[in-house]
Amino acid sequence: MASVRVRFAPSPTGMLHVGGARTALFNWLYARHTGGRFILRIEDTDRARSTDEAVAIIFDGLRWLGLDWDEGPGVGGSLGPYFQSQRTEIYAGYVDRLLSSGTAYEADGAIRFRMPKSPCIIRDLICGDVRFDRLEEPDIVIRRSDGSPVFHLVNVVDDIEMGITHVIRGEDHLSNTPKHMALFEALGAPIPQYAHIPLILNPNGSKMSKRDEGASIGEYIRSAFVPEAVRNYLCLLGWSPKDDREILPIDEVERLFDLGNVNRANARFDLRKLVWMNGQYLRALSPRAIRELAQPLLAAAGLADASADPAHTEAVIGLFREKLQRADELPGRAVYFFKDDYPVEPDAAARLADPANRENLRLLVPAFESLGEFTAAATEAAVRDLAAKSGQKAATFIHPCRAAVSGCTAGPSLFHMLEVLGRETTLIRLRSASA
Ligand code: GLU
């Protein structure tokens, strides 16, 4: 059997949709599984929509997901570039061939292809056999009167030219396939194998559109999701390893993935599940890797720019890591580690307004000043000691102390937090809260 050649053929629209990314991923996985080649072809015949920026969004999304292409435009491709806008002459040649064989004709300045009025069966590797009667199928325009070639033509011509063996694309294209098969036949080219991937639905059962929450890959990039987590989640949108595992390293998916085990049923998109998965991946990263991921967000929030001490930022991340679902929670939750003018929650303010609490904060100051080392263990021992001597519970020191140093009523372990804040900052905040 000829070696596998698959392609992702997006039309630049200004975003990379979750559905498009999943189509790219399944093509890439199939190429990697079979040792074939994954081709990127930009279907940019609609020049009005195909801006450089719209094309860059596709490249950025694919690179971020780690879906490297073997042929196609840009750095990733050894062959190419495959921009349909640069292939006009190739399409013109094919139109001529159809005209001279009599399978196409001119009408009102446009060129139409004679659709065969006979049934066809798509032997789809995912959907099974799908029959189309094609009896009423009108002849399709393949070149408009302004000379521009139409999607059906360019899509088929490029699949022929690029030696595509398997067309793996969204189920929304299933109804185009009888037209495409007729074009392959008329051009005397072998028909590729088809694999139409089921749709992605929202949790409420509607078809996921580009406006739905979580639909844009760009959003995940900007929110500093872990790319491997998003990719892992996309793998499960219509495919599974047939056991209960969900967290799967990509090389294992490459090994197990096959078109025959893509589900026929529609997939459900569940943002909460994706966020959960992101949390699993995030917690497995080192504080350094999380810092690198979150750095742009911290900088944008005015918390830690490029000049910030990486060790401090990583120590802060270490405190939150266990409970973090997404890196973009960090700027909101860790403000008080980076700034002195952090927000104070009403419940924390109420604690700090209580005279008994303020008295306890005053007691903490000399106790912390006299410590040799300002470690979590040392501050904890000091608090327990003070509690014992004053006949109170440790909590009557811990709660106001947390409110005084963070403005919050909850957060990471207090004593570890103090260690990261450092003695100086801790004392300044205790003094000012108890003054
Ligand atoms: N440009 C088409 C799309 O973005 C490609 C369809 C195909 O994969 O054949 O939907």
- CA-closest candidate to residue 415, choices 381, 367, 369: 381
Among residues 117, 179, 207, 210, the one annotated as catalytic is 210
Please list, in sequence order, all residues whose beta carbon lies within 8 angstroms of the beta carbon of residue 397, skipping any fewer than 6 positions away. Answer: 360, 363, 364, 383, 386, 387
Distance CA 22, CA 43 (A): 17
User: Does the bond joining 366 to the residue before it have cis omega, within 30 degrees of 0?
Assistant: no
From ligand 1's centre to the CA of 389, what distance in Å?
74
Q: Name the residue with tokens 């700027």.
A: 331
Cβ 43 under 6 angstroms from ligand 1: yes
Q: Is the CB of 357 under 6 A from ligand 1?
A: no
> What is the Cα–Cα distance from 197 to 267, expressed in whole angstroms?
9
| Token reading at 325 | 């679902």
**How far, in Å, is the centroid of ligand 1 from the Cα of 9?**
5
pLDDT (0 to 100) of residue 115: 96
Contact assessment for residue 93 and residue 100, using Cβ atoms and an 8 Å cutoff:
no
10 lines ligand 1 (CB under 6 A): yes
Q: Distance between CA atoms of 317 and 118, rounded to whole angstroms?
A: 65
CA separation (Å) from 307 to 299, 304, 342?
10, 7, 20
Residue pLDDT, tens place only, 251-283: 999 999 999 999 999 999 999 999 999 999 999
Sequence length of the chain is 435
Is 117 considered catalytic here? Answer: no
What integer pLDDT is reported at residue 54 of this predicted model?
A: 94
Q: What angle do CA 130, 5, 120 make, to 5 degrees?
A: 20
State in Å: Cα 164 to ligand 1 middle. 13
- Residue pLDDT, tens place only, 54-72: 999 999 999 999 999 999 9
pLDDT score, position 75: 63
Name residues of the chain where pLDDT drops below 70.
Answer: 1, 75-77
Q: Quote the pLDDT of residue 135.
A: 81
Q: What is the pLDDT of residues 317-350, one digit of tens each?
A: 999 999 999 999 999 999 999 999 999 999 999 9
CB atoms within 10 A of CB 174: 16
158 token code pair:
């490029």
Long-range CB contacts (< 8 A, 24+ apart) of 55-63?
55/12, 57/12, 57/14, 57/15, 57/16, 57/218, 58/10, 58/12, 58/16, 60/16, 60/218, 60/221, 61/16, 61/21, 61/217, 61/218, 61/221, 62/8, 62/16, 62/21, 62/24
Query: All domains of the chain, ordered by start, with CATH?
Result: 88-197 (3.40.50.620), 286-333 (1.10.8.70), 346-434 (1.10.10.350)
pLDDT at 107 (0 to 100): 95
Which of 25, 126, 173, 197 should be mutated for ligand 1, with most atoms under 8 A from CB?
173
- The chain-wide mean pLDDT, for the chain, equals 95
CA of 42 to the centre of ligand 1 (A): 9
8 Å CB contact between 169 and 23:
yes
Q: Provide the terminal-to-terminal Cα distance of the chain, rounded to the nearest Å.
A: 82
Phi and psi at residue 49, in whole multiples of 5°?
Answer: -90, -20
